[in-house]
Structures are given as C-alpha cells and as structure tokens.
Structure 1
C-alpha cells in the first residue's frame, strides 16, 4: 500500500472513531460530575454485610468443608440479623421511634415548654398631649412626678397643677408668690396623698393634696434653691444649689436629722434605693455619690460610701434597678452623653454607653429588663434600651425641645414626659404587664388604672 492510500485509510479510521470518543468523554464527564458516595460508618453493620456478600457462594462451596458448627453459626447469624434487610450501606441513621409516655389527652393539657413570646408592639407616637405653658427650661430642676394614687403633679412657673389620670381632670394645688418662686422641685410621698414642693427661696413646703391645704414648711436647712427631692417613708431628702443634702424627718419639729456634704455644686439628682438603705446623688460638679444610712450621723457630716467621678458632665438622671437592688443607672449631661451602670456595693462601673446626646432622665421598666432614657439636642427623643445588651428597641419622637423630665404611672405601663417645648406627652412605651389582676367590679378605688386615659 502506498503512502497516499495509507494516509487516507488512517483518516477514515480516525473519522469513524470520533463519535465513539465523544460518547466516551460524555460518559466520563457525567461520572465525574456525580456526587461521591460517602458512607456513614456508624450506620453500617459489617458483620451483616459480610454475611450478605458471602452468602451467595454457599452453594458453590465444597460440601466437605461444611460442618455442623458452621451451619449452626449461619443459622444463628440469620436469626440475629433481620434477613429482610436489603440495604448494606446507609447514608444516615434511621430516626428513633417516638415514645409516648403519656396519653395524648393528658399530655396536651400539661405542657412544660414555655410558649414562644411574641414581640410586643411599641407605639411610636404619644397617645396623649397636653399643654404645659411656663414650664421652666432648666436642666437641674425636677418639676414632674406621678404619685401612687395615679395623680400627676407638674410645676409650671409658680403653680403646681394636679392631673388625675383616672378621669383626666386638672386642678390647681398651690400658687407661690413671685418673691418665693419659681417652684424648683416636686415629689410625691409614698402614700400618694402628701407632696413636697421645693422653692427657689430655699424652703420646702409639705401639702395634703386631698384636703388641698399646706401642712408645714421646712426652713433653715439650705441657703439657696432646692432643686431635688426624694422620699424614704417619713424621711425627706432635699438637695440644694449649695451642694448640701439634708435628711428631714417630717414627723418632728426639729426636722433636720442628717446632713450629707460631698458635692461642690448644685445637687440636681436624688434617688433612694428600694430598700431605703442607700441614697444616690448627682451634681453639677460631675460627681455621683452613694450614701448609706447606716453610716449617717446627726452630729457631724456623713462620709459617702462611694464617690464616683467617671462622668465628665452634670449627673442628673438617676434610676435604681427594680430587679437588682444594687444596680444603679446614671446619665450625664451634654458634655458626657453616657449612661453608666454601677454596682453600688462595690462602686464598680459595670458598663458605659454613649447615647450621642444629653441624658435628661432615666426610667426602668417594672415588667421587663428595659431602660428608657430621655434626651436633648439633636433629636429630643425618648430611647428604649434592652438591658443588659443595651440594644435600641425603639426611639420615640415628638418633642421639639429637650425632654427634661419623665415620670412613670403606678402600674409601670405609661410614661409622661415634659419638655422645654411646653408640652406634656404620654407614651404607652412599657406595654401591659403579662399578669394583670382584674379590677374589682364593685367598690372601686379612688384612683383607676391609667389605661382609662386612652
């Protein structure tokens, strides 16, 4: 065969093999693209697999090699392993058979698993707005408080007004003379009937709101205005611009029983702990003090338990935690902008969060682990925080100027906020308690649930 014929025959042969090669390559690629089988060894039965793989050759074995013991072993192996099984390899274990230990009708009524808690709705707007003309725009004063009898007290200029949340009625409690005013602080006694009123002239008046009459005037303790008040049963703590804190026993004539000296400037925040054992005070000197009544002395100035200097601006906002007795939250002014958390037993700062704006007031949720803060420039908002993560849950806007004061309803659901825009707003920010006792149908209390104002 010459070279030309040879080349032509080779070309014909190569052309005839091309389709086969393509088919082979396609099958090869298809096999390569398949997922590999990765057996689960924990789900394999190797003894059973060996038996199944070798059992087919039973008939081909030499009869001479068979023995009674071998036959007995095979019989026993067949009884041990279920011969109906056809799968030797398994991808995964079979799910266990559920065991029902109780009858369905009984288990349906007894459920030990806690139901999934749905996230509550937090209204972003105030549910009610009232005018508050002549509200003094002063960061260091405390002009709003909500008493245990569901009556809100607010000082507007020289007058204290009472707003009854049960029926929405407003009344005037007292108007102070121009020379003695303006009013610089208000605070309800625990009974919700008596109220203390601090004045610009350094005096403190005690009033009976039910009888609408003045009971007495506390004098001689301070040399300048009284901007902060805090009740502890029959003891009224007063904080003045002179930097002094005075404990007054309102039952006796000589009412000054203890004096706390530690602040260098005006005392603008005062809060007693729930036990009444510790008093937290914040001042315009950027200081936060913790005082303990067991260390108090009537003969000399009492030494503080802790002197905390972490804030770099005035400390007015103070709030004791309702679910942890030694936890205190404090807020700093415009130069600080931080909310700090303190262990008041040790004086340690547990956490500090920069809020980005002046902190004017703080309130804990009584029903959940949440904290509400009110702020100034630039948003003038109320911010709801989840504790202890301090994740923002909501921001409530509506005020057009700094939100100076906040007060909480007796049931802990509604918050009232008063701002320099001369408005008083009510927010359903803390929701309704999970377990609420039904109100009695007969002989109702003189104060009603705050939800009636909606």
Structure 2
C-alpha cells in the first residue's frame, strides 16, 4: 500500500515514513495469525491518525515553494488585490469564476462597495491556469542585476532587416556611427526579441539620459551619453516556481521623474518597482488581474492602466499602496499625467480620450471625453501649452490631432497617410515626433505653430512599424524602436 503525504513538517513526515517501513518489515516476518491481526489493527490506527492529521491541516502545494527574497519590514500586499488571474484560458475542470466576480478587477469607488472578496493575508493566491496555490512569497521572487560586458567591434549585418538574428546581443551596433544627415539615423542598434505589440509601451528615457528597453521578461539599460550598455535585470525564479516568461513578461515601463526608479508592468498584472541607483527591487504590487498596458508618474505617486479598463493610483511609500482607482468600460491602451500634474489623460481601444482631474481619491468620473475613430494609443501632453494634448490614429484613421482639453474640441488635425503607433513632444525644440506603421514605417518631426501642424523631417530606416519613441533630456536625439527588432538613434 502506498500513502501520499500532503501536509505537515517534512522532518516529521520522514520520521513517520521510516516508522511505517520498519512496521511493515516486521509485519512481513511475523508467522502467527494472531500477531498479524494485531499488527493490522495497529497499522489501521496509525493510518487513521495520519489521515486525521492531514485533514486537520491545510494542504501543502504539490511542488514546494522556497521563500526566496523576504519582504521588507512593514511591507504588506494590498488586501483589495490579493488574487491574481493568468491571461491564459482556464482548464476544463476548473470553475469559471474563482474569487472575483466575473473576473473583474477590484476597484475603489466613491461610495461604492468593493467588487471583490477581500482575502486574508495568509491565504494562498489561487492561479487557475496552473491549478495550484501560490503564496505571496512566490511573487517576491526578486530580480537579478547583470552588468554589461564591454564588447568591441561592430556586428556585421547581411541581408535585409528581416534577416537580423535573435542571437545578437541587445544594443549591439548594427552600423558604424555616422555624421548626422537629414533623414538618416546616426546609429542603429539590435533589439532582439522586442515584442511586436501595438498596445505595449516598452521604451522610455529618464531625465538622466538612461534608456530603458524591455525585451521579453528582461529590461536593458543603455546610457545615451556614453552610448554604452550598462546592464540588464530580469526575474530570477528559484526551482519549483513558475516559469519566468509566464510570470513576468513585460508589457509596459516608465521612469520616475527624478530618474531614480523604474516602474515595470507585466502581463500577469504585477507592477515592479526597481531602484536603479542601488540596483535592487523595491516592491512588487499585484495590482491588476490583466495586462498592465500603461504607467505614468505623478511626483511620488504613479498610476497604472489595464486591458480591462481599470486605472489604479499607487503610493509606493505606503504599506497598502493602492490609494485610489477609476474604471472605464473600454480597454485602456495609454495613460499619462500632464506636465503640471493637474490632469490625467487615458486612451481606450474604442477611440475615447478621457481627461480626469488630479483628485485621485475623490470623484471617479472624467471631466472631459473626446472621440476619434480608432484606438487612442499614441498620446502625449504638450509641455508648453499644458491644456493641449495630441493623439494619433491607427490604420483606420491615420489622423494626427491636437485637442483643447478645456473645451473638448480638436483644434487641428493632419492626415499622415500612415498608421500612428507612437508620439512624443520635444519640449526644448518645440516639436512633435510621431512613429508610424504601414505603409511607410517612418518617423516624422512636426513643427507646431498654433494652431497649424507642418512636417519638417521624414526619418526612414525601419522596415516595420515604429512601435516606441523616446527623447533624450535636451531633446536633441530621438530613439525609435520598431517591430524589425532595431533601435535607431536620430539627431533632431
């Protein structure tokens, strides 16, 4: 007979197993029927005690999970966000709903009730796609920083951009640095495994000129001043934990305004805070139940938006970081605080641009709503006219628009004849930069003299759509990352 032990201390169960083996060995060598009956009765009592003890204690996970990196003193997960859901479909034998009604995210509504059952702190987090409980410590798996190795020489590229091999090192030069020419990139770098996702936000530049680029489940840092790769960090699961790519595939990232912290959103709904100065992970917030598509900082606070349309406001200094929330009916694909922190703009997949006030704990209704024919993914506030915001249209629209958020009207628009995937304002140059998809895959610099927009540069070099844009602090260089797995640097 074989017993399966599912609870209790491992040392205790080892002792019980040894006792059971000794007992069975003695029973086999017994030749008297009466003694066999007595041993059988003792064995039944022994087995009954094991079963009773197992049923009185909570079952252990089928695969032991080591504790890994412990939480910092005073750290607590927000009780509103104790359960996580995988984006993958559920298995047939699992219930359709688990913990949260209708798989909706928890929200904090003014005067409303929570739509989630608050889970006690010690309750395991149920992950349906894996069918096993995962404790809070499993989320605090930690990140590992790896400094870059200095590599000399230029990678040789042959053929078209489609032939770029995935074994190239991130930020490896693909051409020699050239003198800036209008319409030509100064430097072309490799970005292997860059996710070809229109709705992701995987590139950002800090106020110190540090470029952050997410490739799969890793984030690479590149110094735009020295033009050198600084290093990369990625999650480091221990044996018995979930797959790293499943757990932490990155969908968005954003630098804090002082350039000291990097906020990272994953496809599992977690938000990680990384202390770049000390090269260590500060916190993991299991905030959303779906893909975190956009992040934006407001001084010491930051906001996150998910594919389910939920906007969460976080204060990472507080034990319970979730300090406010709002919800929109459509999936969220862009989110940005205005330069003066007065308003928050959010764009939806249904083409709605909403403007929210700065009271994150107060009213949860937008003050202005505007409509365009396609998803509002490319979006950005004008730094020098702070009530103006620009948006770009997708394949069905292709219009570049500038909106007056006070009146909710479009003050100017231009047909770009191309899908607009990304958008950035250059404050010091007083220009607007857009990254495009089909059919041209180029970058356009726009001069804006209110209210008219006119194109000044067309930068070509990408062979697929330009998904992400970033600018260095003084606005003299443009960084573009495309679906061709290349990063281009342009002089403005």
Task: Give the 4+ runs in structure 1 shifted more than 4 A.
Answer: none
How do 1:68-83 and structure 2 match up within 5 A?
none
Q: Following superposition of structure 1 onto structure 2, how do residues 6-155 of structure 1 map, counting pairs within 5 Å?
A: 123-155=182-214
Alpha-carbon contact 1:273-1:325 (below 8 Å) kept: yes
In 2, are the aligned partners of 1:159 and 1:183 still within 8 Å (CA)?
Answer: yes
Q: Are residue 261 (structure 1) and residue 324 (structure 2) matched?
A: no
Cα deviation, 1:6-29, whole Å, max 9, x if unaligned, reads xxxxxxxxxxxxxxxxxxxxxxxx
Q: Deviations over 1:20-52 (max 9, x none)?
A: xxxxxxxxxxxxxxxxxxxxxxxxxxxxxxxxx
Residue 157 in structure 1 maps to residue 222 in structure 2: no
- What do residues 182-226 of structure 1 show as CA deviations (whole Å, max 9, x unaligned)? 21111111111210010111000000112111000112x311010
TM-score in terms of structure 2 length:
0.60
The answer to whether residue 337 in structure 2 is matched with residue 272 in structure 1 is yes
Query: Aligned with 2:248: secondary structure?
Result: coil
Query: Please, which of 348, 362, 367 is the counterpart of residue 305 of structure 1?
Result: 367
Partner of 2:281: 214
Please give the alpha-carbon distance, in whole angstroms, between the structure 2 residues aligned to 1:418 and 1:262. 29
Separation in structure 2 between the aligned mates of residue 199 and residue 172 of structure 1, nearest angstrom: 20
8 Å CA contact 1:262, 1:304 repeated in 2: no
Partner-residue secondary structure (3-state), 1:390: strand
Q: Does the 8 Å CA contact 1:173/1:209 hold for their aligned counterparts? A: no
**Do structure 1's residue 386 and structure 2's residue 447 form an aligned pair?**
yes
Is residue 287–residue 307 contact of structure 1 (8 Å, CA) maintained in 2? yes
CA distance, structure 2, for counterparts of residue 229 and residue 261 of structure 1: 15
Q: How well do the aligned residues superpose, as a CA RMSD in angstroms? A: 1.5
**Where does residue 205 of structure 1 map in the other structure?**
272
| SS of alignment partner, residue 315 of structure 1 | coil
Preserved contact between residue 429 and residue 475 of structure 2 (Cα < 8 Å)? no
Aligned match of 1:238: 304
Q: Which residue of 1 aligns with 2:410?
A: 349
| CA distance in 1 between partners of 2:181 and 2:310 (Å) | 40
CA distance in 1, matches of 2:231, 2:250: 14
Partner of 1:290: 355
Distance 1:417 1:132 in 2: 11
* Alpha-carbon offset, residue 342 of structure 1: 0.9
Aligned pair count?
303
**Post-superposition CA distance 1:160-186 (Å, at most 9, x none):** 000012222213332231221321111
| Aligned counterparts of 1:223 and 1:348: Cα–Cα separation in 2 | 34
* Match in the other structure for 1:321: 382
- Partner of 1:180, secondary structure, is helix
TM-score, with length taken from structure 1: 0.65
Counterpart of 1:400 (choices 463, 470, 474) is 463
Q: What's the CA shift string for 1:209-261, capped at 9, x where partnerless? A: 12111000112x31101011101111111011111111111110111112121
- Structural mapping, 1:359-374, within 5 Å: 359-374=420-435
- Provide structure 1 residue ranges, at least 5 long, that are not aligned to the other structure: 1-120, 430-454
Residues in 1 aligned to 2:220 and 2:431: alpha-carbon distance in whole angstroms: 30
Kindly state the Cα deviation for residue 159 of structure 1 after the two structures are TM-superposed: 0.7
The answer (yes or no) to whether the contact 2:399–2:414 under 8 Å persists in 1 is yes
| CA distance in structure 2 between the aligned counterparts of 1:368 and 1:196, rounded to whole angstroms | 27
Distance 1:370 1:211 in 2: 35
Q: Distance in 2 between matches of 1:312 and 1:322?
A: 25
Note if 1:375 corresponds to 2:436: yes
Give 1:318 deviation, angstroms.
Answer: 1.0
Query: Among 158, 167, 181, which residue is 2:226 paired with?
Result: 167
**Local SS of the residue matching 1:205:** strand
Q: Report if the CA contact (8 A) 1:343-1:349 is conserved.
A: yes
TM-aligned CA deviation for residue 122 of structure 1:
6.5
In 1, Cα distance between the equivalents of 2:253 and 2:489?
A: 19
Question: Hey, what does 2:483 align to over in structure 1?
Answer: 420
Aligned to 2:293: 227
